[in-house]
Amino acid sequence: MTHYSVFSLVRNALRGPQAWSPAWREPEPKSEYEVVIVGAGGHGLATAYYLAKEHGITDVAVVEKGWLGGGNTGRNTTIVRSNYLLEGNAHFYELSLKLWEDLSRDLNYNVMFSQRGVLNLAHSDTQMDAFRRRGNAMRLNGIDAELLDRAAVRAMVPELNFDDARFPIYGGLLQPRGGTARHDAVAWGYARGADSRGVDIIQNCEVTGIRREGGRVTGVETSRGFIGAKKVGLAVAGNSSRLAAMAGLRLPIESHVLQAFVSEALKPTIDTVVTFGAHHFYISQSDKGSLVFGGDLDGYNSYAQRGNLPLVEDVITAGLALFPNLSRVKLLRHWGGVMDMSMDGSPIIGKLPLEGLYLNGGWCYGGFKATPGSGWVFAHTIAHDRPHRLNEAFSLERFASGAVLDEKGAGPVPGHH
């Protein structure tokens, strides 16, 4: 693998684009692997990378029905944070954030991680009390948190609407180390790193069935033939239920559409991530100047990567309630991602009832920010056939035992998380 540096950049700039070597190979699938990961998004590629790097397991294939990074990894609003209340979530997402902070150096690939801060706005005394509680819990867990009053929020984001009597801004909870990253670069960086360690990344290879014998998995049927495997890991986001059904399993997951939006490029106007406490809305500004924002689910079950117009209107209305100065900004494009919504709003990372089959799913809104941590603990789980202590709480069995991780307190209604 070519080491990327300023010297390689200058050298190849002088020699022309034909001198650049491909970032990863395009191998033909072998008949059998030790581990097959289904899904070449951020989570699947990160899992393969850490299997090779941390556990020395390189006889790995990552199979993808389309192109790598073409699913939810490339269809999100790129927010990274670890500002969680519950212990089971807080320590896991903090591991992920720490991995983000060193990821570009580790991968030798610039993932454009920008720690510009994540600000959650409060619009009532009750929300301020809830933020005090969450902020104190974060600090007790060694996670950075700052409670801001109205004046501090105004100084930080003066463009906000402070004169709205319906949604008055009382203050906010800030995590300074949170921020954003470039989603495509994350997928490409992990793909390059995994490939350099011997992992086969097989694109345009759709899984059509999961073969099992005697209570354990033996491989996957694909559009390019059968591929044998001692262990199979599923990291397919909104298609988790579909893949599990191929193995005869039913998961406590629903698939919903979540839309994201990008505006035309503007001069710098929002230098942090802002979330609306009175409505589900979040916004940041990309390095190209576009505003990147999103809101609620479309409200119905679907596997389609597109949304409906009423939700577009709902999200835009929420955005203008916060930032009236954006009323004349043009919307450039919008798209939908297929969200795997679990029954308590927290992920499922662990073993499934079929021996040799593992699941990384149920991410709800939290998939992108968890990418490094998810891959790290999922690789540990597959390598050792048992969860790491940081994903023990994310087992499938919690729904039977009642030990759920309901961060929002919304109950067993996936669309409400």
Note the pLDDT tens digit of each residue in 318-370. 999 999 999 999 999 999 999 999 999 999 999 999 999 999 999 998 899 99
| Chain position carrying tokens 């203008």 | 320
**Amino acid sitting at position 207:** V
Going by pLDDT thresholds of 50, 70 and 90, the confidence category of residue 18 is confident
What are the residues facing 37 on neighbouring strands? 62, 233
Note the pLDDT tens digit of each residue in 167-208. 999 999 999 999 999 999 999 999 999 999 999 999 999 999
Q: Which residues are CB-contacts of 48 (< 8 A; sequence separation ≥ 6)? A: 35, 37, 60, 62, 190, 194, 199, 201, 375, 379
> What's the CA gap between 65 and 6, in Å, rounded?
35
Q: Is the pLDDT of residue 408 over 90?
A: no
Q: What is the mean pLDDT of the chain?
A: 95
Residue of higher predicted confidence among 45 and 163: 45
At 385, list the tokens: 């056939």
**Amino acid sitting at position 34:** E
> What's the CA gap between 391 and 386, in Å, rounded?
10
- 3-state DSSP: the chain helix, strand, coil percent, rounded to 5? 35, 25, 40
Which of the listed ranges 106-115, 307-316, 403-412 does the model predict with the highest average pLDDT?
A: 106-115
**Which pLDDT does position 4 carry in this prediction?**
87
CA distances from 63 to 48, 223, 311 (A): 11, 10, 33
Q: Which domains does the chain have, with CATH numbers?
A: 29-79+183-253+344-416 (3.50.50.60), 114-177+255-340 (3.30.9.10)
> What's the CA gap between 67 and 186, in Å, rounded?
14
**Which pLDDT does position 19 carry in this prediction?**
73
> What's the CA gap between 341 and 47, in Å, rounded?
21
Please report the sign of the dihedral spanned by the C-alpha atoms of residue 391, residue 372, residue 381, residue 366: positive
